[in-house]
Chains A and B, each alone.
Chain A
Amino acid sequence: MNMYHYAIRRLLYAIPVLIGVTLVIFLLFNVVAGDPTLILLGKHATLQQMVELRHELGLDKSMLMQYCDTLKSAFTLNFGRSWATKQQIMQMIKGGAYASLTLSIPAFVLASLAAIAMALLAAFFRGKLLDRSLVVVSVIMMSISVLAYILFGQWVFAYKLGWFEIAGYEYGFPNFLPYIILPAIIWIVLSIGPDVRFYRTVVLDEVHQDYVRTARAKGLSNRIILFKHVLKNAMIPIITNLVIQVPSLILGALLIENFFGIPGLGNITLQAINNSDFPVIKAMTILSSMLYIIFNIITDVLYTLVDPRVKLK
């Protein structure tokens, strides 16, 4: 089987998963969560208004028809309007994605670079003090609650010391920069721990391979082996790990965005949760699931492309 066929097969396989996802979402939010009319009409609603509204929203249709609507929205990306803000959901998502990505991409890139560098360092000095302290530091960083990081970071570094903006956001480069620095640092601190640990093992796995022994036997220095040979091979799992993280970047960081007033998708999601704004919650869920599925396929295909050892199955 060639690459092309494989990619097609993977794509086809995504269809039942997508159906599954929409089905789960539909069951959870349409069937169980129920009636939106009060959210829309507020405390002064009359009975007649509710009936009219249910009709407007298509909630008096059969379950099957309602599911078809959900499925259709996943393919057409037309999610209608938010219940709480009455805004076009796709419009909200576009604006939010921009804000989220301006925070998450730099943070992600920096965090990944730092994690890879630290992992290499740790592997290079394996078992030495530096290695041990790096591992311990990353475990410590992982063990503190995100909420504590945010509350303290904002209070100490932004307010008491005045190093950063407390909260806010502006569109356009470079206007957003001052606002994303502290959130980005918190993001990096949060994500660097697990990454360092993972990359370190990946690199160490490679170190034990035969070719390293051969290289050593040839008399190459440790540094050259590590950077030239080991890193090149370790890049495969590292890149897959990076790619698989991409969808989560778009969803942003729920709490970080909310506290720093960044109007990204995380913020939108959290507001939607607080407002029981189901169309938005549904749209966000469907979109992020779709991204996850797509990036999974990309990872798989990449993996087989890069690493011939992986069998096409």
Chain B
Amino acid sequence: MIAPPFPRSLWAETLRQMLQKKLTVVAMAVVFLYTMVALLAHWGLIAGDWNVEVGGSYAAPSIQHWLGTDIFGRSVLAKIIKGTEVAMSVGFVVALIAVTMGVALGALAGYFGGIVDECIVWFYTTVASIPNIMLLLALTFILGKGILSVYIALGMTNWVELCRLIRGEVKRHKDQEYVQAATALGASHLRKLCRHILPNVLHIVIICFALIFQFAIKSEVILSYLGLGVQNSPSWGVMIDDARVELARGIWWQLVFATLAMFLIVLAFNILSDALRDALDPKLKGK
């Protein structure tokens, strides 16, 4: 039968390579930690009490309130933990939407070519031509505000690059021998795409997923600044945005700790995607 496109050992090899580097291991640990925190916060096991007043308004960091309190006397620590849930969910869902769209459209365009290709290329060129910020704005106008529109708006603005890459790769793979062999064996289009071609471009998808993940977390700040961000739940973006009117008063803790929380996860994802890239596809470096 046809050999699987990536021998099992390649994935194992990738993992081994990544685990060799200390930095990568730390990054993986950070991502894991954040994921756990997010999940625990989601189930209400930790930081369920973020909305409770634990001290005075704007208490500076101290033994009692490690990271200080916000305007209503809520613990900044609890808000950061709860914010982790928001950030991780934004990163995950946005990356999922973007990857799904990018892969689906890219694969269709690359595989079928012809008019389908033309249409999809036209579509993504059009989307790419419109500045992201305007597209975000317009989408939140239509969808209203809230976390759902943050997901969709960011998802809809981040798929183009991946789509372009996948299209190119699928085009390249389509004519290769193993696919032609599958055609000869009477495999359907769907089977060829899913079973044979897509596994071969999976590494691109994984790397892009990590990149979009961290980009979405960063973008949430800009959306919050524009008043289009997450509502009614603490988010790092909103906390950083609060600092617009707080920092001049010398209240630095919300800004510093929210920035730090975001910095760590974004850094971890950047390191991870670099490591993945080095291990999986040296050609893609830096793209």
Cβ of B142 and Cβ of A32 under 8 Å apart? yes
Cα separation A78 to B127 with both chains bound (whole Å): 23
List residues of chain B with CB within 8 A of the CB of A273: 137, 226
Among the 9-residue stretches B11-19, B70-78, B267-275, the one with 4 or more Cβ atoms under 8 Å from chain A is B267-275
Cβ of B131 and Cβ of A146 under 8 Å apart? no
Cα separation A39 to B127 with both chains bound (whole Å): 28
B125 proximal to A (CB < 8 A): yes
A254-B133 contact given A17-B126, A24-B126, A197-B286, CB 8 Å threshold: yes
A289-B131 contact given A20-B122, A201-B285, CB 8 Å threshold: yes
Q: Given A28, A147, A152, which contacts B241 in the complex, CB threshold below 8 Å?
A: A147
B43 proximal to A (CB < 8 A): no
Mostly helix, strand, loop or mixed at chain B's interface?
helix
A28-B248 contact given A17-B122, A144-B263, A148-B255, CB 8 Å threshold: no
B20 proximal to A (CB < 8 A): no
A28-B286 contact given A17-B122, A17-B125, CB 8 Å threshold: no
Cα separation A295 to B271 with both chains bound (whole Å): 32
B178 proximal to A (CB < 8 A): no
Cβ of A20 and Cβ of B126 under 8 Å apart? yes
Taking the closest CB of chain A, its distance from the CB of B186, in whole angstroms, is 32
Chain A residue nearest to B265 in the complex (CB):
A143
A145-B134 contact given A20-B126, A28-B141, A139-B274, CB 8 Å threshold: no
List residues of chain B with CB within 8 A of the CB of A284: 131, 134
Q: Given A16, A148, A204, which contacts B259 in the complex, CB threshold below 8 Å?
A: A148
Q: Given B133, B241, B248, B270, which contacts A155 in the complex, CB threshold below 8 Å?
A: B248
Cβ of B262 and Cβ of A145 under 8 Å apart? yes
Q: Given A143, A201, A269, which contacts B286 in the complex, CB threshold below 8 Å?
A: A201
A-contacting residues, B136-166, CB 8 Å:
137-139, 141-142
A299 proximal to B (CB < 8 A): no
A143-B267 contact given A16-B122, A155-B248, A273-B226, CB 8 Å threshold: yes
B172 proximal to A (CB < 8 A): no
Specify which of A17, A151, A201, A293 lies most central, judged by the most chain B CB atoms within 10 Å of its CB. A151
Cβ of A28 and Cβ of B142 under 8 Å apart? yes
List residues of chain A with CB within 8 A of the CB of B287: 198, 201
Interface string of A81-99 (1 = CB under 8 A from B): 0000000000000000000
Cβ of B285 and Cβ of A33 under 8 Å apart? no
A281 proximal to B (CB < 8 A): yes
Taking the closest CB of chain B, its distance from the CB of A192, in whole angstroms, is 14
Among the 9-residue stretches B51-59, B88-96, B217-225, the one with 4 or more Cβ atoms under 8 Å from chain A is B217-225
A142 proximal to B (CB < 8 A): yes
List residues of chain B with CB within 8 A of the CB of A248: 131
B47 proximal to A (CB < 8 A): no
Q: Given B126, B141, B222, B226, which contacts A21 in the complex, CB threshold below 8 Å?
A: B126
User: Residues on B close to A: CB < 8 A?
Assistant: 122-123, 125-131, 133-134, 137-139, 141-142, 214, 218, 221-222, 225-226, 240-241, 243-244, 247-248, 255, 259, 262-263, 266-267, 270-271, 274, 285-287
The 8 A-B residue pairs with the shortest CB-CB distance, nearest first, are A201-B286, A20-B126, A28-B138, A143-B266, A201-B285, A289-B129, A143-B267, A148-B259
Given contacts A29-B141, A145-B221, 8 further A-B contacts (CB under 8 A): A143-B267, A143-B270, A144-B263, A152-B247, A155-B247, A201-B287, A273-B137, A285-B130
Would you list 15 pairs from A and B whose C-beta atoms are within 8 A, ordered by A residue?
Answer: A17-B129, A29-B138, A142-B270, A145-B221, A145-B259, A145-B262, A147-B225, A147-B240, A151-B244, A151-B255, A152-B247, A197-B286, A198-B287, A205-B285, A292-B128
User: Residues on A close to B: CB < 8 A?
Assistant: 16-17, 20-21, 24-25, 28-29, 32-33, 135, 139-140, 142-148, 151-152, 155, 197-202, 204-205, 248, 251, 254-255, 269-270, 273, 281, 284-285, 288-289, 292-293
